[in-house]
Amino acid sequence: MLKSIFKAALYLGAAFPIICSAQTYQPTTLGAKAVLKDQSIEIQFYSPDIVRVIKTPVGRTFRTEGLSVIKKPEQTALKLSKRGDAVDIASSKLKVSLDLKTGAISYATAKGASLLKEKTDGASFKPFDDAGNKTLTVAQSFVLDKDEAIYGLGQHQRGNLNQRNQVYKNMMQGNTEDVVPFIQSVKGYGVFWDNYSPTTFSDTQAETFFSSDVGEGIDYYFMNGGNADGVTAKMRDLTGQAPMMPLWTFGFWQSKERYKTQDETVGIVKKYRELGVPLDGIVQDWQYWGNNYLWNSMEFLNVDFSNPRKMMTDVHNLNAHLMISIWSSFGPETKPYKDMKAKNMLLDFHTWPESGSELWPPKQDYPSGVRPYDVYNPEARNIYWNYLSKGLFPFGIDGWWMDSTEPDHLSAKPTDLDIKTYLGSFRKVRNAYPLMGVGGVYDHQRAVSSDKRVFILTRSAFAGQQRYGANTWSGDITSSWETLAKQIPTGLNFSLSAIPYWNADIGGFFLTKYPRKLQDADYRELYARWMEFGTFTPLMRSHGADAPREIWQFGKKGDKVYDAAEKFINLRYRLLPYIYSASWDITAHQSSMMRALFMDFAADKNVWDINGEYMFGKSILVNPVTKGMYTKTQGTNSNTEDFSAVKSQETYLPAGASWYDFWTGQKLAGGAKVTRETPLDIIPLYIKAGSILPFGPQVQYSSEKKWDNLEIRVYPGADGDFTLYEDENDNYNYEKGQYSEITFHWDDKKGTLSIADRKGKFKGMLNNRTFNVVLAPAGVNNSTNVKAVSYTGKKTSIKL
């Protein structure tokens, strides 16, 4: 009888309290509320597998800005039941249990399998004076299984993939650190700690907790996805889906700190075209606006950029795209600065550059006066776009390089966090700064144009930023083998934070370890290996300070570093159909492009802690070379190349699949380590059996040739599927259904490749084409046993 009363109360949204063990709780339309002796707890189901938990001290009103989460609660069928001193709230996917004595919450699957438990007495509220606002420092502890692996937390440069036994104190956005207070477990659940203030994450065998400096209460989301892709899908359901990137963003990009004239910028593109090395993008870094007092004016005020329209026309006529640097701060002589200062929209702390002088080192007795703006203020975001839309957008700029989106916080004083923003103290909303700044540009551009997809390269990110067409790079990292090795788990944990687009400066930004710069043989070898790694990241971009990084700086055809770089740039372009389809898998199915091995092989515990290998898409296992092999040291500052012996590298192939060496076609068993030779132009690449890989034509830029003669490589040994995605490459018509999908299925037992009816259509679509099907074990250069299939959009099959 009591159980039926609970059900009726829930479905009718009743608000009467039910007394149990001197504690009270009441059903709500979203779940239940409970009042214990010292805290109020509310459990809200946002969907059958997403739950929000809000805890406050008794009598305190809870308020939040809700900057990351954009999902509204779904109507979810729930059942309440009494079990001793606990109340169970169950959906079709999840059971949440609240202990009315302790206030601890536990989570289990609908079938009762335990997922996560809060620690008894794990909630903490401590009074905190936040610049005059009487608020709280809040914390929540959980208890994990002893051997459970967890991942995420954004981008941190420690070199670890598994976040167990890690402590990150007082996390705030930084140049190379991106805070995303989200973890996911190998057990298939995730936790998003919805707080924007400086946050500590700590994991020990005793407890795992989040603690934030400022909060009106504890506010977190628990999600059950069943596996890593499922968890990622739930997080994006909460915080926003990732739109399609333009095709050209997946080509090769050249950058430098900085090209100093428009002729130099255009000349770089011309040189790539003359050499016949593919290129899709060039980046114009800072000071096209002039001196530091004009910092980020978002106008071409530098005399060496006197005809920006011609510069853009020249770049576009070379079939390339240009991305330009914009910042979240302004110099005191700029129009945006003056407008925002008059309205108290600038944050009064030191940021880059500190000096008005361009000499190095900076002359601090000439302060620049550059200040960041209050991105939390919607009117300030309007002003920012107003100047961007007048000063740069009309020239046809293709992408925005949003630098210092943390923003840079130099000579930081404790009182800087007391600075008032539109949403309260800077401390309260500190970590959401990049989300608001990047989101402001995306939303404004989308509002005025759908002809060109928004593309943003940003140095910082927060939860939900995937919805803003942004690719995050790992900041101003140093050039070293150690740094290169760390980029792999750094990028993987960032992707496991549900933000799929990430990259690193190919070659590293600062060359401080290499005083001889590009003359250092060890650095040249490092650059080649970094280029190979960059081929298998969502954005392939060469960039750095201290020395230029264009391919000809490393020699000419016939030189080993040059040839290795050119080889992998060309491989990147051959893989564009695969990469673009993987991008669609992100948008349509909440997938990830850089995939930690546990995402696809969670049953193999050997992969849970592997830091140096990953899947690129769902077919290609990548094991970048991150140690020098071909440099012989002759002294403290001198070394030479030594290619007298070919070196090797070991790779662990996950169990649960067979594998093919990409270069030779040799078939290998999973669940074992293998060793292969790694000359300078080879890294270990393995293709999962059952994979179907499309290879595009050799081109000089992404859209140079139609995909009317794609090579389709089939890797037998298991059944497999692949969906080839195509659209108009650079507008938002795909959101209206203007795209096509062609699904391939490999039946391993029958040895038959089936090509399904084409789904969808779009302007410029290929109605007739040829697929050149290859049974792949003969290796990467296989040109025999090709079977040409004429395809008109109707289902067909071929026996191999």
Q: What is the pLDDT of residues 426-456, one digit of tens each?
A: 999 999 999 999 999 999 999 999 999 999 9
Q: What is the pLDDT of residues 654-684, one digit of tens each?
A: 999 999 999 999 999 999 999 999 999 999 9
Give the model's pLDDT for residue 784: 62
Q: Look at phi and psi of residue 165 and say left if phi exceeds 0, alpha if psi is from -120 to 50, else beta.
A: left
Q: Is 66 exposed, middle or buried (0-12, 13-18, 19+ CB in 10 A)?
A: exposed
Please give the backbone phi and psi of residue 293, each rounded to the nearest 5 degrees, phi first.
Answer: -70, -15
Give the model's pLDDT for residue 762: 98
Q: What is the pLDDT of residues 482-493, one digit of tens each?
A: 999 999 999 999
Q: What is the pLDDT of residues 728-781, one digit of tens each?
A: 999 999 999 999 999 999 999 999 999 999 999 999 999 999 999 999 876 555
Distances (CA, A) of 571 to 109, 247, 472: 44, 16, 23
Q: How far apart, in whole angstroms, are the C-alpha atoms of residue 797 and residue 793?
A: 12
Helices (H), 509-633: 521-534, 560-574, 576-589, 597-600
Q: Which amino acid is at 617?
A: G
Q: Which of 516, 519, 511, 521 is nearest to 543 (CA)?
A: 511
Q: How far apart, in whole angstroms, are the C-alpha atoms of residue 520 and residue 169?
A: 37
Least confident range from 165-179, 278-292, 357-371, 444-458: namely 357-371
Please give the backbone phi and psi of residue 732, each rounded to the nearest 5 degrees, phi first.
Answer: -105, 20
Mean of pLDDT over the chain: 95
Q: What is the pLDDT of residues 72-105, one digit of tens each?
A: 999 999 999 998 999 999 999 999 999 999 999 9
Give the model's pLDDT for residue 360: 81
**Rounded (10°) angle between helices 521-534 and 560-574:** 10
8 A C-beta contact, residue 136 and residue 215: yes
Exposure letters 447-458 (e unless 16+ CB within 10 A, then b) = eeeeebbbbbbb
8 A C-beta contact, residue 329 and residue 351: yes
**Percent of the chain scoring above 70 in pLDDT:** 96
Give the model's pLDDT for residue 359: 84
For residues 349, 351, 356, 360, the Cα torsion angle rounded to the nearest 10 degrees is 140
Distances (CA, A) of 625 to 84, 509, 622, 677: 57, 19, 10, 11
Query: In what order do the strands lie in the sheet containing 620-622?
Result: 594-595, 614-616, 620-622, 685-688, 658-661, 667-669
pLDDT band at 693 (very low <50, low <70, confident <90, very high): very high
8 A C-beta contact, residue 289 and residue 382: no
Q: How far apart, in whole angstroms, are the C-alpha atoms of residue 670 and residue 657?
A: 5
pLDDT band at 9 (very low <50, low <70, confident <90, very high): very low
pLDDT above 50 (res 16): no
Domains of the chain (ranges, CATH numbers): 2-239 (2.60.40.1760), 247-591 (3.20.20.80), 692-799 (2.60.40.1180)
Q: How far apart, in whole angstroms, are the C-alpha atoms of residue 105 and residue 120?
A: 9
Q: How far apart, in whole angstroms, are the C-alpha atoms of residue 194 and residue 64?
A: 9
The predicted model gives 515-541 an average pLDDT of: 97
Q: What is the pLDDT of residues 194-206, one digit of tens each?
A: 999 999 999 998 9
Q: Which of 768, 780, 399, 735 is nearest to 575 (CA)?
A: 780
pLDDT above 60 (res 5): no
Give the model's pLDDT for residue 778: 60
What tokens does 6 get? 């609970």
Q: How far apart, in whole angstroms, are the C-alpha atoms of residue 336 and residue 381?
A: 11
pLDDT band at 413 (very low <50, low <70, confident <90, very high): confident
Give the model's pLDDT for residue 358: 85
Give the model's pLDDT for residue 779: 56
Q: How far apart, in whole angstroms, are the C-alpha atoms of residue 173 and residue 154?
A: 10
* CA 768-774-777 angle, 5° bins: 160
Q: Which of 46, 492, 93 is nearest to 238 (CA)?
A: 46
8 A C-beta contact, residue 268 and residue 284: no
Residue that is written with structure tokens 């071909």 in the block:
630
Q: pTM of this prediction?
A: 0.96
8 A C-beta contact, residue 85 and residue 99: yes
Q: How far apart, in whole angstroms, are the C-alpha atoms of residue 473 and residue 42?
A: 38
Q: Which amino acid is at 265?
A: T
Q: What is the pLDDT of residues 259-312, one digit of tens each?
A: 999 999 999 999 999 999 999 999 999 999 999 999 999 999 999 999 999 999
What DSSP string runs through 28-55? -SSEEEEE-SSEEEEEEEEETTEEEEEE
Q: Which of 481, 504, 490, 489 is nearest to 610 (CA)?
A: 489
Give the model's pLDDT for residue 24: 76
Q: What is the pLDDT of residues 694-733, one digit of tens each?
A: 999 999 999 999 999 999 999 999 999 999 999 999 999 9
8 A C-beta contact, residue 590 and residue 233: yes
- The residues annotated with a catalytic role in the active site are 403, 406, 476
**Strand ranges (DSSP E) for 208-343?**
208-215, 218-224, 252-254, 281-284, 321-327, 329-330
pLDDT above 60 (res 4): no
pLDDT band at 11 (very low <50, low <70, confident <90, very high): very low
Q: Within 10 Å of residue 250's Cβ, how many Cβ atoms?
A: 23
Q: Which of 225, 238, 321 is nearest to 272 (CA)?
A: 321
Give the model's pLDDT for residue 607: 98
Give the model's pLDDT for residue 510: 97
8 A C-beta contact, residue 407 and residue 372: yes
Q: Within 10 Å of residue 781's Cβ, how many Cβ atoms?
A: 8
Q: How far apart, in whole angstroms, are the C-alpha atoms of residue 630 and residue 632?
A: 7
**Strand ranges (DSSP E) for 6-132?**
18-20, 23-27, 31-35, 39-47, 50-57, 79-83, 86-90, 94-99, 105-109, 114-130
8 A C-beta contact, residue 180 and residue 463: yes
Q: How far apart, in whole angstroms, are the C-alpha atoms of residue 593 and residue 538?
A: 7
**Rounded (10°) angle between helices 335-342 and 378-391:** 160
**Percent of the chain scoring above 90 in pLDDT:** 92
